[in-house]
Amino acid sequence: MPDVIRLILDDHESFRARFAELEQLRDDPTAAAAVWAPLAADLEVHASAEEQFFYPQLLKRVEDIEDETEDAVSDHDEIRQGIRRAAGHEPGSDEWWAGIQEAREANDEHLAEEESDDLAPFLEKASLEVRQEVGEKFAAYKREHAHGAGLDYSDTGAEEYMAEHT
């Protein structure tokens, strides 16, 4: 069974690579759009899977992690805002690129914080069995919602999320 930490880190690596690829395609809107569309969907699937399966377990197993979790959910909403901003504009336009940049900046910040503030303590506190159980649910969710199927890209709302999960 997959370890949720490995699944999350693999996604993070993929996101970094695809955002870097986008930067190389500024002069080719068609190619950039072909990279962006699946990346945007994968960002949403990943965020939703974390919110459904990883963060509840993080909150359950790691003491004093509420602020970091609330920040992570807030970061997800900032990424979603960038995705929606880009979606409202013609690929290759300045506004389209501005939405992508907004999503990228929020994502870059999120990945760095999550890797140090969330994944590291979870790895320390959660057994391999727990990480694999969460990983199985995470992977199944990603398969079920491949390409963003059934997801609406709406903000989760960090305060509401925390009220529900703490």
DSSP 105-161: HHHHHHHHHIIIIIIHHHHHHS-HHHHHHHHHHHHHHHHHTGGGTT-------HHHH
- What SS3 class is residue 70? helix
Q: What are the backbone angles phi and psi of residue 65, rounded to the nearest 5°? A: -110, 5
The model's pTM is 0.96
Residues in the chain: 166
pLDDT one-digit tens code per residue, 83-135: 999 999 999 999 999 999 999 999 999 999 999 999 999 999 999 999 999 99
Residue 1: what pLDDT?
86
**Neighbouring residues of 141: CB distance < 8 A, sequence distance ≥ 6:** 45, 48, 49, 52, 53
